[in-house]
């Protein structure tokens, strides 16, 4: 059964809403490219909207902070601009927007952030985007930003002592044997296949899908990929707590983060093998350095807590959380991750896909 993962809810100091500047920076970097591709590739003629039919937009993996609202405003503005400048023979349609995320997502906080006079009708759609969410040919534009790095499940084998991919003493593939990395890669490939198959059925002819995917460059070798990760640092903090008798090593060995960072070449290969979509664009985003590195120590520690706290609390219990992230902040302050931010290799991909006619 697929598991549900959600960011820290609410709007307090530990919430994802208050600690998602990294994702916001990526979204801002994608804005110009997104606007351009909507203008060029969204085929209004082929959509064949009736006079009373809304143009339907889905944001998949929206989470609960203001980033989803800002991203949707960018998309809505781009679509309206397309109708006003290039499609004068067509009246601008009403817009129906679906915000999707896991069932544990804080939709109430998200809906509370809506502007008083928004330009679209909105609804929440809880559920996993690795399966079907919408009726056939019902969507005209699909967007997802910083969500496809989340796996549907922890990869098979990484928590099995008898498996070569057993990830002993770690919580992620960073710093792990190659077998662990390959298990993560295999799971990501399976998940993207399911994602593409579902979207191919849901997107109407003429529609497009824009994805912003956290990634690492093709030029990085496996050892480089597994060096200096903040997830590895969190894992080392848990191991420190095991030595202190606060948690058990056995408990750590049954906890792995369901997060994977693909590469341009790998993602392109998955999409091409799947065959449901044509790749209209696949580019590496030019992201301002400050959005990736987060040079403020407190901000960086809060960001990691906002992303991982719910997962860690569910497995280890709430009583370890404060101490864990205190240890993490101390280690982070002495780590190359924080001291040498220019060495960080994370990036993001902008991908624009159109459904193939014979999907």
Question: Exposed e or buried b for every residue in 72-106, given b needs 16+ CB within 10 A?
Answer: bebbbebbeebbeeeeeeeeebebbbbbbbbeebb
- 210 falls within a domain: yes
- 215 falls within a domain: yes
Task: Please state, in angstroms and rounded to a whole number, the distance separating the CA atoms of residues 27 and 34.
Answer: 10
Q: Under a CB-based contact definition with an 8 Å cutoff, are residues 61 and 105 in contact? A: no
Q: How far is CA 293 from CA 32, 71, 164, 226, in A?
A: 22, 21, 34, 17
Digit-coded pLDDT (tens) for 279-306: 999 999 887 665 555 667 788 888 889 8
* pLDDT value of residue 340: 64
Task: Please state, in angstroms and rounded to a whole number, the distance separating the CA atoms of residues 202 and 229.
Answer: 36
CATH number at residue 42: 3.40.50.150
Digit-coded pLDDT (tens) for 211-234: 999 998 887 655 555 444 889 999
Q: Once rounded to an integer, what is the mean pLDDT over residues 106-131?
A: 92
The DSSP secondary structure of 66-114, one letter per residue, reads HHHHHHHHHHHHHHHHHHHHT-TTSPPPPEEEEEEE-TTS-HHHHHTTS
- 88 falls within a domain: yes
Helices (H), 208-350: 222-225, 230-243, 249-253, 264-274, 289-293, 297-316, 321-333, 336-339
What's 329's DSSP letter? H
pTM of the model: 0.91
**Is the alpha carbon torsion for 229, 235, 239, 244 positive or negative?**
positive
Phi, psi of 215 (to 5 degrees): -155, 175
Q: How many domains does the chain have?
A: 1
Q: Are strands 203-215 and 277-284 parallel, antiparallel or unpaired?
A: unpaired
The average confidence (pLDDT) of the chain is 88
- 15 falls within a domain: no
Provide the phi-psi class of 123: left if phi over 0, else alpha when psi is between -120 and 50, else beta: beta
Q: 355: pLDDT confidence band, cut at 50, 70 and 90? A: very high
- 63 falls within a domain: yes
Q: 84: pLDDT confidence band, cut at 50, 70 and 90? A: confident
Using DSSP, state whether 133 is helix, strand or coil. coil
- 153 falls within a domain: yes
Q: What kind and span of H or E run contains 320?
A: none
* pLDDT value of residue 306: 86
- 180 falls within a domain: yes
Q: How far is CA 26 from CA 277, 306, 338, 340, in A?
A: 24, 17, 19, 20
**Is the alpha carbon torsion for 81, 212, 67, 55 positive or negative?**
positive
Q: 169: pLDDT confidence band, cut at 50, 70 and 90? A: very high
Task: Please classify residue 223 by burial: count the beta carbons closer than 10 Å to its beta carbon, then call 0-12 exposed, 13-18 middle and 19+ buried.
Answer: exposed
Examine the pLDDT at 343 and tell me if it is beyond 80: no
Q: Under a CB-based contact definition with an 8 Å cutoff, are residues 66 and 72 in contact? A: no
Q: How far is CA 138 from CA 23, 46, 100, 119, 253, in A?
A: 28, 13, 15, 20, 43
Task: Please state, in angstroms and rounded to a whole number, the distance separating the CA atoms of residues 31 and 19.
Answer: 20
For residue 190, the enclosing domain spans: 21-222+258-290+342-355
* pLDDT value of residue 242: 97
């Amino acid at each position: 059964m697929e598991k549900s993962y959600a960011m820290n809810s609410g709007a307090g100091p530990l919430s994802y809403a208050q600690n998602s500047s990294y994702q916001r920076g990526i979204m801002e970097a994608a804005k110009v490219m997104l606007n351009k591709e909507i203008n060029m590739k969204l085929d209004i003629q082929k959509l064949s909207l009736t006079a009373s039919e809304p143009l339907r937009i889905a944001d998949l993996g929206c989470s609960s902070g203001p980033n989803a609202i800002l991203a949707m405003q960018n998309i809505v503005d781009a679509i309206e601009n397309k109708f006003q400048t290039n499609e004068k023979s067509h009246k601008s349609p009403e817009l129906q927007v679906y915000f999707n995320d896991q069932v544990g997502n804080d939709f109430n906080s998200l809906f509370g952030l809506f502007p008083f006079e928004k330009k679209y009708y909105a609804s929440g759609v809880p559920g996993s985007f690795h399966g079907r969410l919408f009726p056939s040919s019902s969507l005209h534009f699909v967007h997802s930003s910083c969500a496809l790095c989340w796996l549907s499940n922890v990869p098979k084998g990484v928590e099995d002592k008898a498996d070569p991919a057993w990830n002993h003493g770690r919580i992620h593939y960073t710093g792990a044997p190659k077998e662990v990395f390959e298990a993560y890669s295999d799971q990501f490939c399976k998940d993207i296949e399911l994602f593409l198959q579902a979207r191919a059925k849901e997107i109407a002819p003429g529609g497009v899908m824009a994805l912003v995917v956290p990634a690492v460059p093709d030029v990085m070798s496996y050892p480089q990929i597994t060096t200096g990760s903040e997830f590895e640092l969190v894992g080392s903090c848990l191991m420190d707590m095991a030595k202190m008798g606060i948690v058990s090593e056995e408990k750590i060995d049954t906890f792995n983060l369901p997060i994977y960072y693909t590469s341009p070449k790998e993602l392109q290969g998955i999409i091409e093998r799947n065959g449901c979509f044509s790749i209209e664009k696949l580019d590496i985003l030019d992201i301002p350095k400050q959005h990736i590195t987060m040079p403020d120590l407190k901000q960086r520690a809060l960001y990691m807590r906002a992303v991982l706290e719910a997962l860690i609390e569910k497995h280890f219990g709430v009583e370890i959380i404060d101490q864990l992230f205190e240890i993490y902040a101390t280690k982070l302050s002495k780590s190359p991750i924080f001291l040498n931010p220019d060495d960080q290799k994370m990036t993001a991909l902008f991908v624009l896909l159109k459904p193939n006619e014979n999907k």
